[in-house]
Amino acid sequence: MTLLPGDGIGPEVAAATVRAVDATGARIHWHEVELSGAVIERTRQSVPDEVLRSLDDTKVGLKGPVTTPVAGGFQSVNVALRKKLDLFANVRPVRSFPGIHTRFEDVKIDLIIFRENTEDLYSGLEHEVVTDVVTSLKVITRTASIRIARYAFHYARTHGRRKVTAIHKANIMKLADGLFLRCAREVAQDYPEIEYKELIVDNASMQLVMRPETFDILLLPNLYGDIVSDLAAGLVGGLGLVPGANMGQSHAVFEAVHGSAPDIAGKGVANPTALMQSAVLMLRHLDERASADKLQAAIERVYADGKTVTPDIGGRASTTQFTDAVIAAM
């Protein structure tokens, strides 16, 4: 198992998660590889060779956040890693959490976002035509669109989910988003037992805020998936709680979707829940189901109790105290 702690609060939440996973009794051998802004600057590689060698060997990784420069600097590590390993499906389950006070406390939210992970505007094809005039190409292909749609519908069928909603802006981007929709409709015909719907992305955003309980599986191109998954995380308590999985044909990388939070790095107050829940997804992928269930149940017990949660949730516990509580709850 490749462990990529990242930077900022990454090493703290990664260490906490390793402790929690090991406490479940799962048979995990960790191979830790450094992946940080400093390493990227030194090697001049968005994904250093050592990281790729380790992931090619283990096929599975658990990754903490890595700081990405804004409006300059090196390419996003997440984008580069997904492209190099063809991690085409970004999967983010978003569920109501016990003990978390939100405006939706009386509503059960249980949705899963399936985001195409390799193309769209994240292809990075930008060009300055003349000074202060920039074009950025949105790339949508049939191959990628069919692949993510089949992944989402197959998951729905095998996990007893009832509805898939494709999110788009095909009223404006008739060719690009139109192709994505045509592919989703084609795949939907092979899954007649799954209800299929379509929503324009701005309407979908409003509906998520007003009636989040009406959604089940959301199928989106890359950019909309990025934005909507953060919006959905806000419905249940924020990015500090929501896990993420990047799935490919041969590799899988599980990660916390929040940032590196350098302002609290080293203070011992970072919330490791998102990475711990990503580790739950990882354990299920590895068929360590008993360990996955044990860790998930322990996290939920700590939140339901509410006495040992971190400051971002309104508590006073340190990262170590929270982790101790999770382990004790097992």
Residue with tokens 């390799």: 118
Q: Which of 22, 56, 190, 202 is catalytic?
A: 202
Q: Token pair of 290, please?
A: 């008993």
Q: What is the CA radius of gyration of the chain?
A: 20
Q: Which of 7, 120, 177, 226 is catalytic?
A: 226
Cβ(269)–Cβ(311) under 8 Å?
yes
H helices of the chain, in order, are: 10-23, 37-43, 49-58, 77-84, 142-158, 176-188, 201-210, 222-236, 273-285, 289-305, 319-329
Q: What element of type H or E holds 128? A: strand 126-130
Q: Is 163 a catalytic residue?
A: no
Q: Which of 86, 110, 216, 230 is catalytic?
A: 230
Q: Token pair of 84, please?
A: 């190099």
The DSSP result for 24-81, as a single string, is TT-----EE---SHHHHHHHT-SS-HHHHHHHHHHSEEEE------SSSSSPPHHHHH
Closest CA to 245 of 97, 110, 78: 78
Closest CA to 117 of 2, 220, 3, 24: 220
Q: Which of 7, 63, 83, 122 is catalytic?
A: 122
Q: Is 7 a catalytic residue?
A: no
Q: Is 226 a catalytic residue?
A: yes
Closest CA to 262 of 35, 89, 37, 84: 37
Q: Is 169 a catalytic residue?
A: yes
Q: Is 294 a catalytic residue?
A: no
Residue with tokens 């990503």: 278
Q: Which of 63, 83, 169, 294 is catalytic?
A: 169
Strands 252-256 and 195-200, bridge-based pairing: unpaired
Which residues are identified as catalytic? Answer: 122, 169, 202, 226, 230
